[in-house]
Amino acid sequence: MQIDLDRYRIAPGAEVRLAERDPADTQGLVEDEHEPAVDAQVAANVEACDALQERLYAEGKQALLLVLQAMDAGGKDSTIRKAFSGLNPQGVRVWNFKAPTPTELAHDFLWRVHKRVPGGGYIGVFNRSHYEDVLIVRVHGLAPPDVIERRYDHIVAFERLLHDEGTRVVKVMLHVSKAYQLERFRNRLEKPDKHWKFNPGDLAERERWDDYMRAFEIALERTSTDFAPWYVVPAEERWFRDLVVTQLLRETLEAMDPQYPPPSFDPADYPPESLR
């Protein structure tokens, strides 16, 4: 089962209107009818990624960075759990970027991010990222407009550097509606074991929904490139979201085509039966 990923990819320079993108799109698949096939495909994608990640680690030359952005309750955590559930945790690093510390504020906005970029052989996941500095910072006016404007170019240059040095960058916005977010907030309050995930401050951010959508649109338009593309993934049907993200990761790793390094010895000199 293959789906059309180009449907969600933002072409460089394309105009983005999130209101015109269906956050519940499933490309015609119906959960009740296709659930076994989708589950099998997601499992196959994760298994393929596990094998490719081993080759990536053994090769030690390339890296993969997945950048995840979404509104609150957009499903970043559950996406990470599903997509990387079958991979060797030694080869995957997940980072969450919260409000910068005084030390981080004393440096340029990319300083704290660059330190977390995966090294050769690893997969890195950013649960929120350097894009917070053109999203929340823009919405709340935490930096002058001219500073924010320059950051788009800095981000593109930064991601170009990563690409040129062997790190494949894939960026995913998990797209949900304002109504869906409200449903998820209510769900957190209805379940005691989810209370810890509810932050009353998120309600204030929710009031700025339109401002955030516009900030996302500008970021997508300004920073989706051939070498670090953005994908706006419909995330309200979580089973379909998982299918899209795992297929995207699988196809990216397959395109990277990591190879096991040749042995530094002649295996013929060490027949298994000769070992004692």
pLDDT at 231: 98
- The torsion of the CA quartet 249, 252, 257, 261, rounded to 10 degrees, works out to -50
* Kind and range of the H or E run holding 171: strand 167-175
pLDDT at 198: 85
pLDDT over 90 (residue 228)? yes
Residue 2 binned pLDDT confidence (cut-offs 50, 70, 90):
confident
Range of the domain at 227: 5-255
In a domain, 129, yes or no: yes
pLDDT over 80 (residue 240)? yes
**Do 125 and 84 contact (CB within 8 A), yes or no?**
yes
Answer with the residue of higher pLDDT: 68 or 205: 68
% of the chain with per-residue pLDDT over 90: 85
pLDDT at 1: 75
In a domain, 271, yes or no: no
How many Å apart are CA 175 and CA 233, to the nearest integer? 6
pLDDT over 90 (residue 191)? no
The CATH number covering residue 56 comes to 3.40.50.300
pLDDT at 17: 98
How many Å apart are CA 192 and CA 190, to the nearest integer? 7
In a domain, 275, yes or no: no
List C-alpha distances in Å: 11 to 84, 134, 175, 271: 27, 20, 17, 53
* Helix runs in the chain, H state only: 31-59, 76-83, 102-105, 111-114, 136-140, 145-164, 178-190, 201-206, 209-223, 238-256
Please name the residue that has the structure tokens 């309750």.
Answer: 73
The DSSP output letter for 70 is E
How many Å apart are CA 97 and CA 56, to the nearest integer? 25
Residues 73-82: tens digit of each pLDDT: 999 999 999 9
What is the three-class DSSP state of 16?
coil
In a domain, 260, yes or no: no
Q: What is the mean pLDDT of residues 25-53?
A: 95
pLDDT over 90 (residue 53)? yes
In a domain, 272, yes or no: no
In a domain, 261, yes or no: no
In a domain, 156, yes or no: yes
Report the domain count for the chain: 1
pLDDT at 197: 85
In a domain, 57, yes or no: yes
pLDDT at 51: 97
pLDDT over 80 (residue 276)? yes
